[in-house]
Amino acid sequence: MIFGLQLKDQWGGLMVSTNTVFDAFIQTHRWAVLTHLKRGGAPASSMVAYAVEGNSIVVSTPGKTFKRRAMERDPRVNLCVINNREPFNFVSIEGTVTIETERLEDSTRRVFENIEAVGYAVPKNLGQWLKASDRVILRIAPKHFHGVIRSV
């Protein structure tokens, strides 16, 4: 959702970005670098898998991480969606995070389904796995986009 608007493509499907090229790139990739701000203001980054869910982007992460604590203090993030071959394209998404601790199964399943092609499977008995690993969902509400998409 961008500034309270629900974006739809020409077929009525939900979009993350108003730029259809950026939106297609975000929808068809799976890896990104998530950057948040540490207490002193310095950036910290980590590689994450993500999934698009409506007009937001979701990331599943362990709940007791530095990343989560930092985002509780300051929810501003940058998610840089990348590809892993030339030409090296990217879409950088500035947004804010909401940390979800309940009803995590659908969002977590979407993240795992997005990375199944590279050898990751949805954990058996997902509910137990989520509880045992104390996972949370980071829901990113996009605010601004920029990027570079080059054709081959």
The residue extents of the domains of the chain are 20-146
Strand intervals (E) in 3-133: 31-37, 43-49, 51-53, 56-62, 76-82, 90-100
Does position 2 have pLDDT exceeding 50, yes or no?
Answer: no
CA distance 139 to 6: 16
Q: Please report the pLDDT score of residue 86 as a whole number.
A: 85
Does position 5 have pLDDT exceeding 50, yes or no?
Answer: no
Mean pLDDT of all residues in 77-91: 92
- pLDDT tens string 99-129: 999 999 999 999 999 998 888 989 999 999 9
Task: Supply the mean pLDDT for the chain.
Answer: 88
Contact 89, 83 (CB under 8 A): yes
- pLDDT tens string 41-73: 999 999 999 999 989 999 999 999 999 999 999
- CATH 2.30.110.10 for domain 20-146, yes or no, is yes
